[in-house]
Amino acid sequence: MKDLAEALALVLEGIEPLETETIPLTEARGRVIASEAHAAIDLPPFDRTAMDGFAVRAADVAPGAELRVIGDLAAGGATVAVEPGTAARISTGAAIPEGADAILKVEDTEVRNGTVIASADVPEGLHIRRRGEDLHAGDVLARPGDVLTVPRLSALASAGVAHVRAPRLPRLDLIVTGNELLPAGAPPEPGKIYESNSLVVTSMVSAVGANVVHHPPVADDFDATREAVERGLAGDILVVSGGVSVGPHDHVKPAFEACGVDEVFWRVRIKPGKPLWFGRRGKTLVFGLPGNPLSAIVGTAMFVLPALRSLRGEADVQPRLVKGRLGEPAGPSDHRTTFLISKLVPDADGVLVAWPTERQGSHMTGALGESDGFAIAPHGSGPLPAGAEVELLRL
């Protein structure tokens, strides 16, 4: 049995980001940039006004000064030259006209018969956004491995970047197994349970970024499982839920073997999720997740998502754990790193405090509904007191 960190290292070992493609920025949200992106232009690209008002020569302006209005400059429109004794009406974003060196804001003016009367002084440069004060052409906007978040997209778009290179989106095939599985919306049947893992795994991997290919649910039958696995091996990642234990109806491991998937490990020192299986066939990464819903969630968060991030080319591929404290004593059980279903509530200092729910267990999806994720009690830690610092898996 592997420790969590050792198992994760084995999963990540040797994964290379997928081949890159050029994509328009409009399709790049959440993708990972593969090469440095540089500003194509200065930002602002020219001196422009931050205010609606009048472009003036600062030396001309004092309370009571009268200036002849010689034009009306809109953002993106034509310009004029501002001579001594004149002013040009100007709207936010328009280029500062030749001759002007300050903006008299509209609130400090009164207009009468083609003349503007100032009611305030303006120092030189007032309300002018200078060319290049934000960025210079050539400045680095994103580095390889950066995820294209909304703030980064805004920077790239405004600096004139229209396309980026990014590793292609990984294809993740998802198969759920089990004779007992009922699809959502079906009437309840004796001995059957509602299938939830495909929804949960899809939600988790889609939030990171993958093309999910759903396969029809597979009965607990060797041939059916083998055929489904063979079809599912066409992508970058195959996730199979259920059937990876040692029962007489668990056909997933033999099916992996029959399809030529090489086992890297089976079983991890975690609770829930111990019978997790990982292997590879060629470049395809293959995960067998235990079917218990909490095991599937923990396995996805701790192994599938890091592998996915790695294929996507992300710089930081580690599970997204945050630090927090236990609200009450808790600890690992069965000498395994234990994921305790917890409410995570910030205290007065903003520290996230984990309050484990009374119900704990890999099947306790009801308890999961009251929680915000898990507090992680490492396998070697022994009982932990209230206030102990722990890592949290926030969902």
Residues lying near ligand AMP in the complex (CB under 6 A): 176, 178, 180-181, 193, 195-197, 241-243, 245, 290-293
What is the Cα 248 distance to its own chain's centre?
40
Structure-token pair, residue 182: 């009922």
Q: Is 272 in the site for Mg ion (CB under 5 A)?
A: no
Q: Is 293 in the site for Mg ion (CB under 5 A)?
A: no
Among 178, 235, 273, 327, binds Mg ion (CB under 5 A): 178
Binding region for Mg ion (CB under 5 A) out of 94-102, 232-240, 291-299, 383-391: 291-299
The one-letter amino acid code at 130 reads R
Please state, in angstroms and rounded to a whole number, the distance separating the CA atoms of residues 305 and 215: 20
Please state, in angstroms and rounded to a whole number, the distance separating the CA atoms of residues 205 and 27: 18
What is the Cα 189 distance to its own chain's centre?
39
Nearer to ligand AMP, 173 or 195 (CB): 195
Residue nearest to ligand AMP (CB): 291
Nearer to ligand AMP, 292 or 337 (CB): 292
Contact 388, 359 (CB under 8 A): no
At 38, give phi and psi (nearest 5°).
Answer: -120, 150
**Interaction partner, residue 293 (Mg ion, ligand AMP, none; CB < 5-8 Å by kind):** ligand AMP
At 301, give phi and psi (nearest 5°).
Answer: -65, -40
Nearer to ligand AMP, 243 or 332 (CB): 243
Contact 119, 108 (CB under 8 A): yes
Nearer to ligand AMP, 242 or 373 (CB): 242
Q: Is 242 in the site for Mg ion (CB under 5 A)?
A: yes
Q: Is 243 in the site for Mg ion (CB under 5 A)?
A: yes
Distances (CA, A) of 7 to 31, 211, 245, 249, 306: 26, 25, 18, 26, 12
# of chain residues touching Mg ion (CB under 5 A): 4
**Interaction partner, residue 371 (ligand AMP, Mg ion, none; CB < 5-8 Å by kind):** none
**Interaction partner, residue 197 (Mg ion, ligand AMP, none; CB < 5-8 Å by kind):** ligand AMP
Nearer to ligand AMP, 97 or 293 (CB): 293
Angle at 204 between CA 368 and CA 373, to 5 degrees: 30
Restricted to residues 8-47, the positions that interact with Mg ion (CB under 5 A) are none
**Interaction partner, residue 299 (ligand AMP, Mg ion, none; CB < 5-8 Å by kind):** none
At 225, give phi and psi (nearest 5°).
Answer: -65, -45
Positions in the binding site for Mg ion (CB under 5 A): 178, 242-243, 291
